[in-house]
Chains A and B, each alone.
Chain A
């Protein structure tokens, strides 16, 4: 029996948006290659990284996510030809803006992971979890109401 008074270690809550064609498949490959990454990384499948609306990211933070990572095909390899080019511009501006509002720069990230890069997917997630763990809990973009009662 563990000592219940022991302070619970911070395990960040991570949401990963993955495009169906590259990154989600990359995550599948990481799985079939048994390349582990922490269980607190949870994936939402979207057709293309360009489907990810900034409001989804903010919603995740509001609902208690500590880090949000967006994964898509490598630029130039987008299944939908140009989708991730738009993602790239949107997210460059959004992340810079969030940082301008005082939100930690590292909390949000974009990574291009191809369907063949299972190892990279796992490495990226491990690295991201470590960075967010170092950064600590998301306190600046969270909604106090959500975590009430915890």
Chain B
């Protein structure tokens, strides 16, 4: 294990930025999101929940797929995907829940057929996670068996008042470590263990620590789908996309064309199953009410996705939706209502 003094973090960032594009939580316009690091940027590593999750790095909110160049009646197709020969990048400060979310996304985008747009970005990334030390009341990653005190990743780091502690887990991690080695010194194991213990003590007091998910099983699918509680749960839903867009695991997108002076850009952008036109097809709309859309989102997270992915839920308990839903609806309420007997 290595460590670096907190005051010297800027040197670390600077060093990483020499060879990598460095994405790190930065405060801009009052909000903390992952942005490319640069000298003078306001890094906010401790921020528990960036507004947008790190998925934006691999699965950007909007991404060009290809271009059609038209000249008169001729049409040429140009590949515009992110080029692997560009600088690889580092995602720095990823929290345990968000790292788990990347695993959820990988199962979607890297399974056959592979989404090569996602893949090329994913492969070029080295992920440096950061253990949580100060969870807040909306956190419930432990309900999904995630250990916020020891996240995985290519490199795992811990931060306390004095140092950042650094531990490489993978080859990519080793390579990054080698690149910044000159700034690191050895040691810190006890500090890390102490932090883990104290954080775990806090984690036990999380109000959502013991959510019961036992009813979300494939065999209960029909029963859950038909549950009358969906009506009242979804009643206040505005049908906005806040929950899906701040969610680290939501993966739906739309493909659209944009007309330029030269032709057309075909791009994809995040879409939300909460939107009424999400299911709009030539024949009509298969989900006509907000209840159906609302139900779809949570059934997918808690039933459909796990039934196809060995029981892995596509919720990681980051709590962003708990904080951000305009009308205070969220997945916790759904779990408590439908998840199982022990939720009362």
The yes or no verdict on A and B being binding partners is yes
Q: Give A residues with C-beta under 8 Å from B.
A: 63-64, 145-150
Q: What's the Cα separation between A71 and B261 when bound, in Å?
A: 26
Q: What's the Cα separation between A48 and B298 when bound, in Å?
A: 50
Q: Give B residues with C-beta under 8 Å from A.
A: 69, 258, 260-262, 265
Q: What's the Cα separation between A63 and B261 when bound, in Å?
A: 8
Chain B, Cβ-Cβ closest to A150: B261
Inter-chain contacts of B258 with A (CB < 8 A): 145
B88 smallest CB distance to A (angstroms): 25
A118 smallest CB distance to B (angstroms): 32
B259 smallest CB distance to A (angstroms): 8
Q: What's the Cα separation between A150 and B260 when bound, in Å?
A: 11
Q: What's the Cα separation between A56 and B177 when bound, in Å?
A: 54
Q: What's the Cα separation between A149 and B262 when bound, in Å?
A: 7
Chain A, Cβ-Cβ closest to B262: A149
B235 smallest CB distance to A (angstroms): 34
B75 smallest CB distance to A (angstroms): 15
Inter-chain contacts of A147 with B (CB < 8 A): 260-261
Q: What's the Cα separation between A145 and B261 when bound, in Å?
A: 9
Report the 3 A-B pairs with minimum CB-CB distance, sorted nearest first. A149-B262, A146-B260, A145-B260
Q: What's the Cα separation between A147 and B261 when bound, in Å?
A: 6
Inter-chain contacts of A145 with B (CB < 8 A): 258, 260, 265
Inter-chain contacts of B69 with A (CB < 8 A): 149
A114 smallest CB distance to B (angstroms): 35
Q: What's the Cα separation between A148 and B69 when bound, in Å?
A: 11
Inter-chain contacts of B261 with A (CB < 8 A): 63-64, 146-150
Q: What's the Cα separation between A145 and B263 when bound, in Å?
A: 10
A143 smallest CB distance to B (angstroms): 8
B244 smallest CB distance to A (angstroms): 24
Inter-chain contacts of A63 with B (CB < 8 A): 261
A3 smallest CB distance to B (angstroms): 26
Q: Give the most central of B69, B258, B262: most A CB within 10 Å.
A: B262
Q: Can you give 18 contacting A-B residue pairs, CB < 8 Å?
A: A63-B261, A64-B261, A145-B258, A145-B260, A145-B265, A146-B260, A146-B261, A147-B260, A147-B261, A148-B260, A148-B261, A148-B262, A148-B265, A149-B69, A149-B260, A149-B261, A149-B262, A150-B261
Chain A, Cβ-Cβ closest to B78: A149
Q: What's the Cα separation between A150 and B263 when bound, in Å?
A: 12
Q: Give the most central of B258, B261, B265: most A CB within 10 Å.
A: B261
B263 smallest CB distance to A (angstroms): 9
Q: What's the Cα separation between A115 and B244 when bound, in Å?
A: 54
Inter-chain contacts of B260 with A (CB < 8 A): 145-149
Chain A, Cβ-Cβ closest to B80: A148
